[in-house]
Structure 1
Amino acid sequence: MIDVAMLAGVSQQTVSRVLNKHSNVSTDARERVESAIKRLRYRRNPSARALATSRSHNLGIVSFGLAQYGPSVALTGIIDEARRSGYATNLVTLGDIDRSHMRAALDHLLADNVDGIIILAPLEAAFDAIEGIDTDVPLVAFEPGGGQQTTHVGTDDVLGAALATRHLLELGHETVHQVSGPDGWLGSRSRLKGWADELADAGLPVPDPIPGEWSTRSGYEAGLIVAADASITAVFVANDQMAFGVMSALNACQLSVPEDISVVGYDDVPEAPYYVPALTTLRVDFSQVGRLVVDRILSLMNDEAAAPIPWVVPQLVVRSSSGPPPGVRRAGIMPEPRQNAT
């Protein structure tokens, strides 16, 4: 750093400010420092930096379910925001969710002297596992459907499911069925609640949900069940991958979306606008989840006052897969009963 300062004609403090991305550095000084860093091929010494700051500038992440769209995009947001803030990340992926595996993951990260830990495992069992565990460093978790808290970043999945259900009811459907996510997932629980509450508020009975496993295959299997029930005209599916499977099964059973059955998904994956028909869904900014998680853990590390973290609010994106039920579409003429599909 001394060599960089001499070549750039500035103080070591100015070099430090440039490296730490402080705003109170003139454009000219910043350019000279950055040029000197490139010419000298200067690299920070992480060990020396840790000794000087009493920090490793490394954040730990305990993850589960990264094959799913939401957690994987949130992870990318965490890593990108951590990098922008001058932090590296250390990822531990859980194979099983219980207290002993969680404790082992946390101990591994603490042995690496991480400055804070992020829990990216949106399951009920993960939150049970961390209950009462002392980490000696700040810990922030991603909690789909969770309330606004100081150490949990939540997505308002209850509202999102309610918006999907309301959209279908306002199109004229007499009720809405749901293909749900697997038991134990926080997103499954909160999306079931939002759907059921919206139906109850409309004075409608709540049908039994059709269980899914987040995968397109499980959506296809659920779609066969939907196709076999001639009373179903609208389905809310708890994620987009399953929604694609549902629509594929309906097509295989010679049923049209949305002419015979409307389908609404959840997440707004990149493929959603390009499916045939384009999928109506709830858009969730999982990258924002990642940014909020890192912002909060850095605030806690700096002993800053922490207010409850605002929810990440889903937005309804209406495309071609949802429409009025057949009877409404035919100007009030009731649809002919369709044959049960096999």
Structure 2
Amino acid sequence: MSEERGAKSANIFDVARLAGVSHQTVSRVLNDLPNVRPATRARVEQAIAQLRYSPSPAARALVTRRTRTIGLVTPGTADFGPTSIAMHFNVAARAERYSVDAVTSPDPDPASVRTVIEGLLRQRVDAIVLIVNHIGVLEVVRGLELSVPVVAAAATQRRHPNLVSIDQYRGARAAVRHLAELGHTRILHLAGPPSNPDSLERLRGWRDELAARGLVAVEPPHGDWSAASGFQIGTSLDVERGTAVFAANDHMAIGLVSALRSRGLRVPDDVSVVGFDDVPEAAYLLPPLTTVRQDFQALGELIMQKALLAVEEPGELTEDTPIATHLIVRESTRPVD
């Protein structure tokens, strides 16, 4: 009876004494963290079994000062890119046995973002991850003094150890290069929102590729990522036979193709169109859409790896090379006659 009573009251320090290690080492074993020698791990596990020690999540958090929870701040939209990133990040977090406390920031203004982050900090998250869709959010985060590491998914020219991204700039240049190599000399751009980091990088890539080829850049209209905005802009876009259009995302490209068809223009016979994202339906459109594929799974996994490193070894963070995109050539583009 006394043995059972002792087992029930065993704590992490009892385990540490029995195994002949520090309580921090016991914590690392309990949380399945690296840098514990196999023999030491086995000794700790034997002590845990002998004492029948089973810490509650609350007790474990008190000892490790960690909750194995990451706060995720997503934009208040249902756009394909941010939604896909969030989904793959959640999968990667579960694989590492972390929980995700996800919240949306409906407004990109500083006060709204600050309120959301402060709410996550009250939940004692180990780190905060932001999926950024407004350039102002990055400035807010840079100005905050936080007690936990922050990792942001954001396309930007300015590299930082806490930023990860897909290479929007080179993806855009590849799209424009493809059209130019088909013989198009008038390549328009249907841009995304002017405050969105991805949109700005794709716009920069379009401009730079045209400049490198000595082609004129016509000031682009801006949509809101939706097919409806692509259609609306497409009804009045100044296109003629031989024109090509690089749309900043697939959904706007879908609306654009529909608008061109309503005007009696054929894609790709009269106008070639390239999108960006490679949404699941892109391959099944009429015509199938040439587009730039983003690896959202790789980005979600990279965000989680970066967050883990920021928690475990904050001094080891380094700048990452943006994840490469891939041009997917289908039937919405063709050579100029």
Range into which the TM-score falls when normalised by the shorter chain: 0.7 to 0.9
Q: Which moved more, 1:230-239 or 1:311-320?
A: 230-239
> RMSD over aligned Cα, in angstroms?
2.8
SS in structure 2 opposite 1:312?
A: coil
Counterpart pick for 1:256 among 266, 276, 279: 266
Q: Which moved more, 1:98-107 or 1:108-117?
A: 98-107
Given that 2:241 and 2:270 are in contact with CA atoms closer than 8 Å, whether structure 1 keeps it comes out as no
The answer to whether structure 1 residue 88 and structure 2 residue 99 are counterparts is yes
The answer to whether structure 1 residue 210 and structure 2 residue 244 are counterparts is no
Q: Partner residue of 2:282? A: 272
Equivalent residue runs for 1:46-125 within 5 Å: 46-125=57-136
Q: Partner residue of 2:15? A: none
SS in structure 2 opposite 1:204?
A: coil
The answer to whether structure 1 residue 183 and structure 2 residue 176 are counterparts is no
Could you say if the C-alpha distance between residues 85 and 225 of structure 1 is closer, same or farther in structure 2, counting changes exceeding 3 Å?
A: same
The answer to whether structure 1 residue 166 and structure 2 residue 177 are counterparts is yes
- In structure 2, runs of 5+ residues without a counterpart are 1-6, 9-17, 20-24, 43-48
The answer to whether structure 1 residue 194 and structure 2 residue 205 are counterparts is yes
Scaled by the length of structure 2, the TM-score of the pair is 0.83
Counterpart pick for 1:282 among 292, 297, 310: 292
Inter-partner Cα distance in structure 1 for 2:320 and 2:80: 22
Inter-partner Cα distance in structure 2 for 1:297 and 1:277: 41
Given that 1:146 and 1:154 are in contact with CA atoms closer than 8 Å, whether structure 2 keeps it comes out as no
Inter-partner Cα distance in structure 2 for 1:139 and 1:229: 44
Inter-partner Cα distance in structure 1 for 2:304 and 2:98: 10
Q: Partner residue of 1:333? A: none
Letter of the 1:20 partner, please give it.
D
| Cα distance, 1:273 vs structure 2 | 0.6
Inter-partner Cα distance in structure 2 for 1:118 and 1:51: 23
Q: Partner residue of 1:40? A: none
Counterpart pick for 2:32 among 17, 20, 32: 20
Given that 2:241 and 2:271 are in contact with CA atoms closer than 8 Å, whether structure 1 keeps it comes out as no
Inter-partner Cα distance in structure 2 for 1:126 and 1:166: 31
Counterpart pick for 1:307 among 318, 326, 329: 318
The answer to whether structure 1 residue 144 and structure 2 residue 164 are counterparts is no
Counterpart pick for 1:239 among 242, 249, 267: 249
Inter-partner Cα distance in structure 1 for 2:105 and 2:242: 39
SS in structure 2 opposite 1:210?
A: coil
Q: Partner residue of 1:6? A: none
SS in structure 2 opposite 1:298?
A: helix
SS in structure 2 opposite 1:73?
A: helix
Could you say if the C-alpha distance between residues 224 and 232 of structure 1 is closer, same or farther in structure 2, counting changes exceeding 3 Å?
A: farther
Q: Partner residue of 1:291? A: 301
Letter of the 1:236 partner, please give it.
F
| Cα distance, 1:18 vs structure 2 | 8.9
Given that 1:122 and 1:142 are in contact with CA atoms closer than 8 Å, whether structure 2 keeps it comes out as no
- In structure 1, runs of 5+ residues without a counterpart are 4-10, 30-35, 37-42, 329-342
Given that 2:290 and 2:330 are in contact with CA atoms closer than 8 Å, whether structure 1 keeps it comes out as yes
Could you say if the C-alpha distance between residues 139 and 303 of structure 1 is closer, same or farther in structure 2, counting changes exceeding 3 Å?
A: same
Could you say if the C-alpha distance between residues 100 and 139 of structure 1 is closer, same or farther in structure 2, counting changes exceeding 3 Å?
A: same
**Structure 1, residues 81-113: CA drift from partner, whole Å, max 9, x if none?**
111111101112112112211111111001000
**Structure 1, residues 287-342: CA drift from partner, whole Å, max 9, x if none?**
211111111111011125122112111110000111112xx2xxxxxxxxxxxxxx
Equivalent residue runs for 1:28-47 within 5 Å: 45-47=56-58
Given that 1:65 and 1:121 are in contact with CA atoms closer than 8 Å, whether structure 2 keeps it comes out as no
SS in structure 1 opposite 2:206?
A: helix
SS in structure 2 opposite 1:125?
A: helix
SS in structure 1 opposite 2:151?
A: strand
| Cα distance, 1:148 vs structure 2 | 3.8
Inter-partner Cα distance in structure 1 for 2:217 and 2:31: 57
| Cα distance, 1:130 vs structure 2 | 1.6
Letter of the 1:237 partner, please give it.
A
Inter-partner Cα distance in structure 1 for 2:202 and 2:297: 20
Given that 2:223 and 2:230 are in contact with CA atoms closer than 8 Å, whether structure 1 keeps it comes out as yes
Equivalent residue runs for 1:325-336 within 5 Å: 325=336, 328=337
**Structure 1, residues 108-158: CA drift from partner, whole Å, max 9, x if none?**
001000000011122111112222201110001011244442100022111
Q: Partner residue of 1:39? A: none
